[in-house]
């Protein structure tokens, strides 16, 4: 379990670091819009797992 957790945590941290750098912490509107689209698409992939 810990190995899986650490892998997911690292992926999250890497994504967050890239996001912060590319969007300048959300200040670059064009890049922010791109990330909004990316995240919306990723969330859509998990909609079958949600509970009401």
1-52, pLDDT tens digit by residue? 999 999 999 999 999 999 999 999 999 999 999 999 999 999 999 998 888 6
Phi/psi of residue 25, nearest 5 degrees: 60, 40
Domain extent for 29: 2-49
pTM: 0.80
Phi/psi of residue 43, nearest 5 degrees: -65, -40
**How many independent structural domains does the chain possess?**
1
Residue 26 and residue 23: Cα distance in Å, rounded? 5
Helices (H), 24-50: 29-45
Residue 18 and residue 39: Cα distance in Å, rounded? 13
């Amino acid at each position: 379990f810990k190995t899986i957790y650490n892998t997911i945590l690292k992926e999250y941290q890497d994504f967050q670091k890239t996001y912060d750098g590319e969007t300048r912490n959300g200040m670059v509107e064009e890049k922010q819009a791109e990330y909004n689209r990316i995240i919306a698409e990723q969330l859509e992939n998990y909609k079958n797992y949600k509970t009401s």
